[in-house]
Structure 1
Amino acid sequence: MTHPRRKFVTLGLSTVTLISAALIAVPALATPPVGDFHPVPVFKGVFGPLDLKAEKNDKWDLLLRSKGQTDLRVTTVSFGAHSSTGWHSHPGPNLLTVTVGEVVVYEGALCLGTTIHTNGTFTDTGGSHIHLVRNETGDPAVVMATAFYPHGVTPTLTSEPQPNNCPAGIL
Structure 2
Amino acid sequence: MGWGASVIGSGGRTRRVGLAGLVAVALGVLPAAASATPGTGVSATVLAKGTSDGTIAVKGHGRTDVVVREVTIAPGGSTGWHYHPGQLIVVVKSGTITRTMSDCTVETTSAGGAFVEPAGKQNVHIGRNLGTEPVVLYVTYLVPEGSPLSVDAPDPGCP
One fold, TM greater than 0.5?
A: yes
Unpaired segments ≥5 residues, structure 1? 1-28, 53-63
1:163 aligns with 156
1:151 aligns with 145
Residue identity in the other structure for 2:76: H
Bigger-Rg structure (1/2): 1
Question: 1:39: how far off?
Answer: 2.2
Question: 1:50: how far off?
Answer: 2.2
Q: Distance in 2 between matches of 1:152 and 1:133?
A: 24
Paired residues, number = 124
Deviant stretches of 4+, over 4 Å? 64-67
Q: 2:127 aligns with which of 117, 124, 133?
A: 133
Question: 1:156: how far off?
Answer: 1.6
2:48 aligns with 43
Q: 2:97 aligns with which of 90, 93, 103?
A: 103
What secondary structure does 2:75 align onto? Answer: coil
Question: Percent of aligned positions with the same letter in both sequences?
Answer: 31
**Contact 1:92/1:149 (8 A) holds in 2:** yes
Unpaired segments ≥5 residues, structure 2? 1-34
Q: Distance in 1 between matches of 2:111 and 2:86?
A: 24
Question: 1:112: how far off?
Answer: 1.6
CA change 1:150–1:80 in 2 (3 A) is same
Question: 1:152: how far off?
Answer: 1.6
What secondary structure does 1:83 align onto? Answer: strand
TM-score with structure 1 setting the length: 0.67
**Contact 2:61/2:144 (8 A) holds in 1:** no
